[in-house]
Structure 1
Amino acid sequence: MEDPRRVEEGLGHTPLVKEGDKDNNHGKKEAKVEDAGSIEKEKEEENAVSDQPEERKEEQPLIKQKNKRVATLDAFRGLTIVVMILVDDAGGAYARIDHSPWNGCTLADFVMPFFLFIVGVAIALALKKIPKVKYAIRRIILRTLKLLFWGILLQGGYSHAPDDLSYGVDMKKIRWFGILQRIALVYFVVALIETLTTKLRPTVLDPGHFSIFTAYKWQWLGGFVAFVVYMVTTFALYVPDWSFSVHDQHKTERYLVKCGMRGHLGPACNAVGYVDRQVWGINHLYSQPVWSRLKACTLSSPSSGSFRENAPSWCRGPFEPEGLLSSISAILSGTIGIHYGHVLIHFKGHADRLKQWVSMGFSLLILAIILHFTDAIPINKQLYSFSYVCFTAGAAGIIFSAFYLLIDVWGLRTPFLFLEWIGMNAMLVFVGGAQGILAGFINGWYYKTPDNNLVNWIQEHVFINVWHSERVGTLLYVIFAEITFWGVLSGILHKLRIYWKL
């Protein structure tokens, strides 16, 4: 009976070996790779390969066997988690690293596309062999549902950690989409295409720089369809006037936003927000969008602050940063990521891999910069614009290439072990650290008042008071009391072989 885990990852069968060949194949080590489709550690082993007939030895197989674990993937995932914690918890003190209020790209804006890029790379590695398609599809659906469940639980409004010790959510206001939900959608589409097109791939990779693209034309076709749907909807959909209500302790005010236009890429009347208002309902959207930090809304821009007296009505309105239409555009990030994974599988030499990766990374960056500075399509995370996809995917490709060169080619693994450990237990760090579940648990043990807890005491007395600066103290707290803590804990769990897997 085969191990279901190996079947899921496309490794359920080993090639049939003649009796006389057993000794030749005995003892071959199976390499492990990682599936980050749900920001988690997945292990994959490669099969032993039987001797090929003499007449087929000259052929270059489309899928090449890897002989060692690619540590770059873990380190890059760990880096993304570290940046996420940094910008989430220190972004309030340093607005320049927090999400851009609208057009532009800050450090925080790289987190989501980097996750999706990793999802794509890992899907290529995990699904390079799929002997049982039906079983693989079943596992893809199950993992997608798990991601959706955790996304709604953590970001739907049920959890109020770490500051508020209460829990629960009014179902009339639950937020349906979020970070894990977007990852779930991209993972589902990209992994499904990869699985269903297994038998449509050629057996031999043709020579030439672009052969890798033609070999996986169905994956690129899926990305192109997502691109067309997004672009047509964004520029052709008519956006009418809309209204919303703001409730406070004393009164309820209703605001009207006048639109009546197509192709608008500003905060008020874009198609991305209109689709979410129609599909989810205005009460189910994120109520504190980053556009409230725009100069048109507050004098404190780019930081948060009180609204201007003459601030436009839309400044107070809701907007879903991980919305439906923008998540369709995000499928492109996963498609580009899976291409990098395909290059890793098919090209044996380090130089060949880096040539493919770096050339594509710089091409995407150049295209994005041209689109942005010509005002054709500005770089915008909230809309997940095409230029934003290109810019962040290009940056991900360059950084991934640099990590690969340092870690897997030059062997400088030790300086990056900290990131590897976090990347191996990314789901645990995301839930416990980035979503503040562990801090919320610790805050539950307070003295006299909920504010008088261990987390606040450490931040105030060990960092802020020592440096006499709230900004510097907050930054050092995030680096040493959060990121370093999770790195050490992840290292300990790795030594104990303990991982959180969906």
Structure 2
Amino acid sequence: MYWPNCGKGYLGPGGLDNYGKYFNCTGGVAGYIDRAVFGNHMYKHPPCQKLYENKVYYDPEGILGTLTSILMVYLGVQAGRILNTYVNVRDKVIRWTTWGVVTGLLGGALCTFSRDNGPIPLNKQLWSLSFVLVTSGMAFVVQAFLFMIVDILRKWGGRPFFYPGMNPIILYVGHEIMRDTFPFAWKPTTETHATYLFMNLWGTFLWVAFSIFLYKRNLFLTI
């Protein structure tokens, strides 16, 4: 799709991306539609601003991203229906695996099995169709694998992921409160994907450790 001053097909963060060639095209067509509909009533400091120094407003949870997120919810419902509808273990695993392979291949075809190319590149901020299909495909396959290993063969109890699942409310609220506080997070000296990845993995490790601490002391918060 073509939109003014941005050409056709660009879906990137704008700003310094591509040497500033698409400086005011943050979010591609998704950002253009949101700005046309909502004007200045949008998220003013998107995460991509830290790396690409873009200036235009952009909401990562905009109109087009909402539509594709609805598709992901549908795929999750499908996974749940398979679990509840079929009694035989083989029937469940085959269906999860089939859905995983089909959606994964469709998503891979849309991005030509690359990170930045294809008709619809992988883009989490835009929640692009290829991103939805690829991640959903992975989730279907992981669901089938964990179902066999944890529930059927009893080879693994799901730890350490079991512990955060016992206290999700405390972890969610705690993360929101402490998201910019050391040692859970800090201001990196060099703002790159690698440094943010390390910081977020470290923060996740600390919250998992905290959930284990709560579990060992029988401390749980439920609604």
Instruction: Please give the range of the TM-score, normalised by the shorter of the 2 chains.
Output: 0.7 to 0.9
Given that 2:149 and 2:155 are in contact with CA atoms closer than 8 Å, whether structure 1 keeps it comes out as yes
Q: Do the aligned partners of 1:276 and 1:285 also contact (CA within 8 Å) in 2? A: no
**Number of the residue aligned with 2:168:** 426
Say whether 1:336 aligns with 2:65: no
> Cα distance 1:280–1:488, how it changes in 2: closer, same or farther (>3 A)?
farther
Deviation at 1:340, TM superposition (A): 0.7
1:273 counterpart residue number: 31
2:201 & 2:48 partners in 1: Cα distance? Answer: 24
- The one-letter amino acid paired with 1:277 is R
User: RMSD of the alignment, in Å?
Assistant: 3.4
8 Å contact kept, 2:46–2:59: no
1:289 lines up with 2:47 in the alignment: yes
Matched positions, count: 198
Return the letter of the residue paired with 1:482: W
> Post-superposition shift, 1:363?
1.4
Equivalent of 2:137 in 394, 402, 420: 394
8 Å CA contact retained: 2:45, 2:57: yes
Q: Normalization by structure 1: what TM-score?
A: 0.35
Matches within 5 A, 1:222-371: 235=1, 239-240=3-4, 258-259=5-6, 264-267=10-13, 268=25, 270-290=28-48, 293=51, 297=52, 315-371=54-110
**Contact 1:272–1:325 (Cα < 8 Å) also in 2:** yes
1:379 to 89, 112, 122: 122
Q: Which runs of 5+ in 2 are unaligned?
A: 14-24, 187-194
User: Following TM superposition, by how much is the alpha carbon of 1:291 offset from its aligned partner in structure 2, in angstroms?
Assistant: 6.1
Q: 1:280 to 1:500 in 2, by over 3 A?
A: farther
Shift of 1:397: 0.9
Letter in 1 for 2:222: W
Q: Structure 1 residues 384 and 438, CA, compared in 2 at 3 Å: closer, same or farther? A: closer
1:74-89 correspondence to structure 2 within 5 Å: none
2:212 paired with 1:499? no
Kept in 2, the 8 Å contact 1:292–1:316? The answer is no
- In structure 2, relative to structure 1, the CA distance for the partners of 1:385 and 1:500 (3 Å cut) is same
Which structure would you say has the larger RCO, counting Cα contacts within 8 Å and 6 or more residues apart?
1
Distance in 2, matches of 1:276 and 1:357, equals: 35
State the alpha-carbon separation in 2 of the partners of residues 459 and 385 from structure 1. 28
- Residues 125-274 of structure 1 mapped to structure 2, 5 A cutoff: 235=1, 239-240=3-4, 258-259=5-6, 264-267=10-13, 268=25, 270-274=28-32
For residues 18-37 of structure 1, the aligned pairs below 5 Å read: none
Gaps of 5+ in 1: 1-234, 241-257, 298-306, 308-314, 444-454, 461-469
Runs of 4+ in 1 over 4 A off after TM superposition: 261-264, 473-477
Alpha carbons of structure 1 residues 499 and 475: separation in structure 2 relative to 1, 3 Å? closer
